[in-house]
Structure 1
Amino acid sequence: MIDVQAIGPDDWKAWRDLRLAALQEAAFAFGSRYEDWADAPEDRWRQRLSEPGAYQVIASIDGTPAGMAGGFPDGDKAELVSMWVAPEGRGKGVGNALMRAVEDWARGTGATALELSVVPGNDPAHNLYLRHGYVDTDEPGDLMADGVRRELVMRKPL
């Protein structure tokens, strides 16, 4: 059974463990680097989970953490960030559960659209987003850590 729980600053250890696993396992998919977070003090982790208006969730399968995602308000839209599903959670509905949780949160904030960025070539993530109704935009995304590749921006009306 998949369980999705909203988390806050007191859950920083669980989020840290997932975030570091994500940055190691799928370094190509994130703008942040493992090296930037590996030795981060507790205060930095707590601060990341304390940003005003932000929403962070962890998905678990039978009590074992299997994925994470977050949402940030951005005017009349919201942004989906830090989405990652652990290898053992892939193909089991974890990504779908995380997407639904963040989409429900965004609707609750009054957002009219949800935006996200995905690395070109990350076909499993891109396909998940397409299945959830996101469309590619022509907007340039942020530069990745390599300073060369740009994220692909996708959007879904809510």
Structure 2
Amino acid sequence: MTSPASDGIEVRRVTADEWMLWRAARLEALRESPAAFGSQLTDWIEAPESRWRERLSVPGAHDLLAVDGEHVVGMITGMPVADDPSRTELISMWVAPSARGTGLAADLIDRIVDWATEAGASVLDLSVMPDNPSAHRAYERAGFTPLDEPGDLLPDGRREIRMRRTLR
């Protein structure tokens, strides 16, 4: 499924059969913005095809890439929470420097909000690194608010910031 985004950028849903395209985008995101993710480039650079296909085969997940011509300029995933169908998570959000400030981040978030709402979820959760203020602001502009619950523990002892948006 492909649909227009902003400024000629096309957003498309990807499947496990498109693992190489997702792999290239994810590795670029981890190279370009290493502090923005809980995963590191070293966690994925040598990953076999089966791991990439597994990542794109989570039942009910919604994996999107934003493509400008031949270049992937954004990615995002909506992930169902297995033990709670009322909750979904936004993960793997990234916008390339060349597409920042264009509204692409808001567009990608809106698409995951729409997907989660259609899937029947009542909340959309995410985690953001504590030293990523631009992502934090983008999520706040998209209607997310910080939660009091601690996020995952980071290697340096800090914790990710958990945020939530109520969908209905």
Per the TM superposition, whether the score is higher than 0.5 is: yes
In 1, the alpha carbon distance for the partners of 2:165 and 2:128 equals 14
Unaligned runs of 5+ in 2: 1-7
Matched-pair identity in % = 47
Amino acid across the alignment from 2:94: W
**In the alignment, is the contact (CA less than 8 A) between 1:114 and 1:155 conserved in 2?**
yes
Query: Which digits, 9 at most, give the CA deviation of each residue in 1:5-60, with x for residues without a partner?
Result: 11110111111011111111111111111111101111110110001111100012
Matched, 1:54 2:56: no
| 1:77-156 → structure 2 map (5 Å cutoff) | 77-144=87-154, 146-156=155-165
The corresponding residue for 1:6 is: 13
Q: SS at 1:96's partner residue?
A: helix
Report the secondary structure of 2:102's partner residue.
coil
Letter in 1 for 2:80: P
Count of residues paired in the alignment: 157
Higher relative contact order (CA 8 A, sep 6+): 1
User: In the alignment, residue 136 of structure 1 is paired with which amino acid?
Assistant: P
Match of 2:5 in 1: none
RMSD: 1.1
Task: List structure 1 runs of 4+ shifted beyond 2 angstroms.
Answer: 61-64
Q: Secondary structure at the match of 1:91?
A: coil
* 1:34 equivalent among 30, 41, 49: 41
Point out where structure 1 has 5 or more consecutive residues left out of the alignment: none
Query: What residue number does 2:4 align with?
Result: none
Query: Is structure 2 residue 27 aligned with structure 1 residue 20?
Result: yes
Note the C-alpha offset of 1:147.
4.7
